[in-house]
Amino acid sequence: MMNDPCNISPPPQPPRAPRILITGASGFVGGHLTGYALANGYETYAGVRASSKRTYLQDARIHIVDLPLPDAGQLTAFLQRFRAEHGVFDYVIHAAGVISATDHSQFDRINFGFTKHLADALITAGMTPKKFIYISSLSSFGSGDALSLRPLRHDDVPRPNTAYGRSKRKAEEYLYSLPAFPFIILRPTGIYGPRDRGYLSYIKMIDKGIAPFFGRRPQYITFIHVYDLVRAAFAACGSPLSRRAYFVADGDVYTTKEYAAILQRALGKKRVARASIPLWLVKTVFYTADRLYGLFGRTPAAINADKYHILSARSWICDTEPLRRELLFVPQYRLAEAVKEVIALYRRDGWL
């Protein structure tokens, strides 16, 4: 007897790979997030600007999308079309932003404005993801107590002392204002690793035999390897928790002199001249540059009041226990060993 085809169940369909959108995918952190997503089976969409370099986005499996983040209306329309053609994103990691600018207003326009546009557009287009991960910064809280060296905690009152930090804090507050929006905020400390240029200029100075220090009192600094930050971001995606924020650091604390010594050993430099620059002189130079450029409506990217506040702060120590306890995060990279690999890559690529 033949089976009635109407009573035969269709074969089970394989589960769809989780779909993820990563903004700022052409940047340092975004590029590593994209690589991790591909390596772990995500259907990966890389949000970039049309003008962005795509040196590290060459894998044919990456779906490149030109997100109109500056325009809320266009962004909403784009997401509505995407949903009609492809469906929704399971996860969104928002790593797009600027850490330096030639105009202070750019921080607010991009770090806050683009975050607001994206969250609003996702909601309006019916594209609210299972989890929205916002890559913020320790600067959204400002520096810690320089006397007690007590780690910053999430229940402390945020006191961002830079335009960059204030823009990040403003974006965080906006996410909290959205009812039931499922976000997790990550506030990384100093991020280092392959392809990072943020610490490259200081490494070059050490390689030339000069180690400058700002201020006579010790400055305490913290780090997170970009690979560990990426792991934390994907742990946040998979967590049942939401509407939380975490400081992200490897748990170790260094003085700037200890950091310079680590770099000196990694570079194989036998002698390095140490130069201590008084903070009053640093402030004078940085604020003067800020004012002079300000006459032309611009801010120097490397020497400005924002940078002075970062260099003059004596403690960037933060409490990472909630990250360990709630996201089960354990860092895999430690500075002294990992920086050797980073320097080797710099030399291989001709950066050093």
Q: Which of 304, 283, 299 is nearest to 214 (CA)?
A: 283
Alpha-helical runs (H) found in 112-213: 113-124, 163-177, 200-207
Residue 80 C-beta-side C-alpha neighbours within 13 Å = 10
Backbone angles phi, psi at 47, to 5 degrees: -85, 120
Which residues, 6+ apart, have CB-to-CB distance to 350 below 8 Å? Answer: none
Please check whether residue 186 is in contact with residue 194, taking contact to mean a CB–CB distance below 8 angstroms: no
Please check whether residue 83 is in contact with residue 127, taking contact to mean a CB–CB distance below 8 angstroms: yes
Which residues, 6+ apart, have CB-to-CB distance to 94 below 8 Å? Answer: 23, 24, 115, 118, 132, 133, 134, 135
Q: Is 218 left (phi over 0), alpha (psi -120 to 50) or beta?
A: beta
3-class DSSP state of 154: coil
Confidence at residue 299, expressed as pLDDT on a 0 to 100 scale:
64
Confidence at residue 53, expressed as pLDDT on a 0 to 100 scale:
80
> Environment class of residue 96 by beta-carbon count within 10 Å: exposed (0-12), middle (13-18) or buried (19+)?
buried
Please check whether residue 140 is in contact with residue 168, taking contact to mean a CB–CB distance below 8 angstroms: yes
Confidence at residue 174, expressed as pLDDT on a 0 to 100 scale:
98
Question: Beta 210-214 vs 43-48: how paired, if at all?
Answer: unpaired
Question: Beta 210-214 vs 273-277: how paired, if at all?
Answer: parallel
- How far is Cα 198 from Cα 187, in angstroms, rounded to an integer? 17
Q: Which of 70, 79, 38, 78 is nearest to 57 (CA)?
A: 38
Confidence at residue 300, expressed as pLDDT on a 0 to 100 scale:
62
Selected from 3.40.50.720, 1.20.1250.20, 3.30.465.10, 1.20.1630.10, the CATH number assigned to the domain covering 19-196+222-250+317-332 reads: 3.40.50.720
Output the furthest CA–CA distance in the chain (Å, rounded). 95
Q: DSSP assignment, residue 140?
A: G
pTM tops 0.95:
no
Residue 90 C-beta-side C-alpha neighbours within 13 Å = 13
Domain spans in the chain, listed from the N-terminal domain onward:
19-196+222-250+317-332
The per-residue b/e assignment along 232-244, b for 16 or more CB within 10 angstroms, e otherwise, is bbbbbbeeeeeeb
Q: Provide the residue-wise pLDDT of the chain in tens; the chain has 352 residues.
A: 445 545 555 656 567 899 999 999 999 999 999 999 999 999 999 998 877 788 888 899 999 999 999 999 999 999 999 999 999 999 999 999 988 877 788 899 999 999 999 999 999 999 999 999 999 999 999 999 988 999 999 999 999 999 999 999 999 999 999 999 999 999 999 999 999 988 999 999 999 999 999 988 999 999 999 999 999 999 999 999 999 999 999 999 999 999 999 999 999 999 999 989 999 998 998 888 877 776 666 666 677 788 888 888 999 999 999 999 999 999 999 999 999 999 999 999 999 9
